[in-house]
Structure 1
Amino acid sequence: MRSANTNTDHTSKIVGTVWGLLVLNTLGSAGARTIVPLPRSLIQMVTMGSLVAAFALALVVNPRVRVRASAYVFLLTLLLVPSLISSVDQGAGFGALFRCTRLALFIGTLWLLSRWWDGGTTFVRHHIRMYFAVLGSVAAGLVISPGAALPDLYGGRLVGALWPLTPPQIGQYAAVIIGLTVLLVLGRRTDRRSAAVIIVPSLVLLALTHTRTATLGLLIGLVLAIGSLILTSAAARRLFSWSVLCAAVAAVGFSSALQAWFLRGQSQENFASLTGRAKVWHALLAAPRTTSQYLFGTGLGDKSFGGLPIDNSWLAVYNEQGVTGIALVAAIIIVLGGVALLRPPSLSRACAIFLISYCAIASYTEAGLGDASPYLLHLAVAASLLAAPAEATALSTPVVPRQRVPRWAQSSEVT
């Protein structure tokens, strides 16, 4: 029995390590200036190396390649088809093919990890730990060099001073782990003291990033997730009531301060154009396209158009993977959301609803649903939460020894 528990703990640690490597891979290589300048080639080597290591470790822990049926990973696999067609047919070059290989390894690793998707909160905890470690590096950079962590280049918003992370990235990580931790407290899967250690500093970092998308995604996602628990959880009903009361008080007493934080010193015109994003979107939609480009896109790229970031997942997918890619990404959101709505109320369902709604909201002003990114990891956690219970997996089903029946007790007739 001790040997079996030891093997299970060892496997769990390896799976957690694989998840951490996937998180490292999706941190990206472009961002703010760091205290110690890091060559982009070195950062890319680390992030790509982490993906290769994640895939290799996943093979080590799952050598027989036992996977579970997953509509989410299956649709991601189908997304590789327009990615490859556009990258090869449009002559996008080595960079596009490299990104296709990266996406294939990413999806392959998720297939290997799907063996342990059992509807439990294991991957939620892995997710929180890994992104809290990332936020720890951000906090360390803020303490070591406040000037580098709050540069004028980003309007005094918090960036990664040790690893090149942008304010939207930091805001996203903080919002996601805050929401998941709040739900774990409601489900009594963690104590309030441990939760406060994660929630309080993450809220401070989120506020310093001035990231509107992450803040709205956090609030709306929590409202939907907690709303799914209201009928079955008294704690959810109490928190929902207090949240409504606090929101009303804040809207009345701190409206000017909240408005100033939300506008970030921008003019109404700049705010209306979503900090210039709308101009890029209009130019992208107005650009002429061939039939092949319309169906399959122009190949995986850096999510930019005309040298400017697209900052919209749907338009980025349309540009790189065409309307075929948009249909597949929409199917991912619809399938996950539909399965979540059909599940009975539970903590796993609430966490999945939070993650799905957050990704759907953030997709309007941030790219990432069509390529290896933190958003695909968020949705992978949601898929793990919506998977069949643990009893259906070979690892978690206890093996009951078959008892032999004595020959004298056997009978060919039933009397």
Structure 2
Amino acid sequence: MAGDLRREALPDGAGAAGTRPDARPRPAGTPKIVGIVWGLLILNTLGSAGAKTIVPLPRSLIQMVTMGALVAAFALALAVNLRLSIRPSAFVFLLTLLLVPSVISSANLESGFGALFRCARLALFVGTLWLLSRWWDGGLTFVRHHIRMYLAVLASVAAGLIASPGAALPDLYGGRLVGALWPLTPPQIGQYAAVIIGLTVLLLLGRRTDRTSAAVVIVPSLVLLALTHTRTATLGLLIGLALAIGSLVLTSAAARRFFAWAVVCVTVAAVGFASALQAWFLRGQSQENFSSLTGRAKVWHALLAAPRTTTEYLFGAGLGDKSFGGLPIDNSWLAVYNEQGMTGVALVAAIVVVLGGVALLRPPSLARACAIFLISYCAIASYTEAGLGDASPYLLHLALAASLLAAPAAATPLSTPEVPRRRSPRRTRRSEVT
């Protein structure tokens, strides 16, 4: 994948800085170590709970790997940015403010010492993003890192499916695809597949990758997404792509053609395969179970009905495992309300609104379209998935959107030889002649 997704051409056709006297200044490129840091952040957010793997992995070992990845990411980011050079970012600033209610609520130890540990994890996560913000310049570098790393994760899922189909499609999850080598749940796999499919489609429309390379990413990811039977990821992919491509329709003929063909294909599929699509969408559930969102609504009602003190209402009960009464909350807004209170809800809402507002104000471009896709996907997924208030893949998706919406970095002056200024001949005053 590294060689397939083509890099953007250098402006002015210059091969090295300072080789042309009339060359315009360009900012320094992104070091390769930054891609490693981004990959380590993704590894940290994979989680430690999921299906049973072919080779049993102790949860303590998985947590050691994920937390070690975060510590290594912060250390490497600090090593490559020793001058602590950062760029102003409303997104990371709001994330930093989110630490305040997290620490206030976790200090009560209502959720145990694990809450303080999660606060430290979130602080390291945010600190690493601050260090990486130096290279946020509106380019597609981090998009490529995102696709490559999640493609590697999906490759491990495919390898587990080939090695042990029974373990990868267990009856415990209703025959839905899980991670057989690393404990990944169907919603996680569906999320990763949907995100890289959407980003790759946009890169293809923007002619930043070729059809063969795009097919290598899109086709296997679509198969894995279908095997997960994840409705949220599928809807997020379709709606997010519709909004992102819609933002390019007025400026891109390729986007107009793709949009037209997509409408035709969706119409044909809806008419010809309606029963099959309905069966896939319902996943064999009853109408009552489907209407209650697989039991999620019962947990939500119980959470909202639970009595709270003023402190808990404002700052929450502390960072936990995104559950209530032993059951997963599966809603980002209610999870934030439970753990970080209304203060956390306001800050998370501000993050989404600020990113969405900036995206709407930017002129049409491929980077803007990718950001719109990521923001809309996270907004849709937030209804049935938790993660916007803690270190998670969703925050990484939004961080990627923030990097795409950042203004281009200030140019670095080139070391070109100075050309002496020509001095105009001095005019002789009349008084001097006389």
Q: In the alignment, which residue of structure 1 is the partner of 2:138?
A: 119
Q: Is the 8 A contact 2:241 2:373 kept in 1?
A: yes
Distance in 2 of aligned mates of 1:410 and 1:69? 44
Distance in 2 of aligned mates of 1:84 and 1:59? 24
1:107 to 126, 129, 132: 126
Tell me the matched-pair count.
408
Amino acid of the residue matched to residue 236 of structure 1?
A
Post-superposition offset of 1:91: 3.9
Post-superposition offset of 1:352: 0.2
Q: Is the 8 A contact 2:109 2:115 kept in 1?
A: no
Which stretch of structure 1 is more off in the superposition, 90-99 or 272-281?
Answer: 90-99
Distance in 2 of aligned mates of 1:413 and 1:210? 84
Post-superposition offset of 1:148: 0.2
Please state if 1:225 is matched with 2:225.
no
Backbone CA RMSD of aligned residues: 2.0
Distance in 1 of aligned mates of 2:344 and 2:396? 18
Matches of residues 317-328 of structure 1 in structure 2 within 5 Å? 317-328=336-347
Q: In the alignment, which residue of structure 2 is the partner of 1:181?
A: 200
SS in 2 for 1:399: coil
Please state if 1:44 is matched with 2:44.
no
Post-superposition offset of 1:403: 2.2
Distance in 2 of aligned mates of 1:152 and 1:398? 61
Consecutive unaligned residues of structure 2, counting only runs of 5 or more, are 1-14, 19-27, 430-434
1:316 to 323, 330, 335: 335
Distance in 2 of aligned mates of 1:111 and 1:77? 9
Amino acid of the residue matched to residue 195 of structure 2?
V
Q: Is the 8 A contact 2:359 2:368 kept in 1?
A: yes
Amino acid of the residue matched to residue 33 of structure 1?
K
1:297 to 292, 295, 316: 316
Q: In the alignment, which residue of structure 2 is the partner of 1:216?
A: 235
Q: In the alignment, which residue of structure 1 is the partner of 2:100?
A: 81
SS in 2 for 1:24: helix
Please give the per-residue CA displacement for 1:344-398, whole angstroms capped at 9, x wherever unaligned: 0000000000000000000000000000000000000000000001xx33xx524
Amino acid of the residue matched to residue 24 of structure 1?
L
Q: In the alignment, which residue of structure 2 is the partner of 1:357?
A: 376
Q: In the alignment, which residue of structure 2 is the partner of 1:399?
A: 414
Q: In the alignment, which residue of structure 2 is the partner of 1:30?
A: 49
Please state if 1:144 is matched with 2:163.
yes
Distance in 2 of aligned mates of 1:105 and 1:300? 15
Please state if 1:204 is matched with 2:219.
no
- Counterparts in 2 of 1:3 and 1:29: CA distance versus 1, 3 Å: farther
Q: Is the 8 A contact 2:50 2:184 kept in 1?
A: yes
Post-superposition offset of 1:94: 1.2
Please give the per-residue CA displacement for 1:277-321, whole angstroms capped at 9, x wherever unaligned: 000000000000000000000000000000000000000000000
Q: TM-score, normalised by structure 2?
A: 0.91
Distance in 1 of aligned mates of 2:390 and 2:44? 12
Amino acid of the residue matched to residue 55 of structure 1?
F
Please give the per-residue CA displacement for 1:152-175, whole angstroms capped at 9, x wherever unaligned: 000000000000000000000000
Please give the per-residue CA displacement for 1:182-238, whole angstroms capped at 9, x wherever unaligned: 000000000010000000000000000000000000000000000000000000000
Identify the structure with the greater helix proportion: 1
Q: Is the 8 A contact 2:299 2:324 kept in 1?
A: yes
Distance in 1 of aligned mates of 2:167 and 2:428? 83
Post-superposition offset of 1:13: 1.4
Q: Is the 8 A contact 2:186 2:230 kept in 1?
A: yes
Distance in 2 of aligned mates of 1:329 and 1:260? 35
Q: In the alignment, which residue of structure 1 is the partner of 2:9?
A: none
Structure with max Cα Rg = 2
1:334 to 330, 346, 353: 353
Distance in 2 of aligned mates of 1:247 and 1:114? 39
Amino acid of the residue matched to residue 76 of structure 2?
L
Please state if 1:377 is matched with 2:396.
yes
Amino acid of the residue matched to residue 147 of structure 1?
G
Distance in 1 of aligned mates of 2:414 and 2:263? 49
Distance in 1 of aligned mates of 2:396 and 2:413? 30
Distance in 2 of aligned mates of 1:199 and 1:413? 72
Q: In the alignment, which residue of structure 1 is the partner of 2:325?
A: 306
Post-superposition offset of 1:38: 0.1
Q: In the alignment, which residue of structure 1 is the partner of 2:86?
A: 67
Distance in 1 of aligned mates of 2:166 and 2:87? 48
SS in 2 for 1:89: coil
Q: Is the 8 A contact 2:38 2:145 kept in 1?
A: yes
Distance in 2 of aligned mates of 1:398 and 1:279? 60
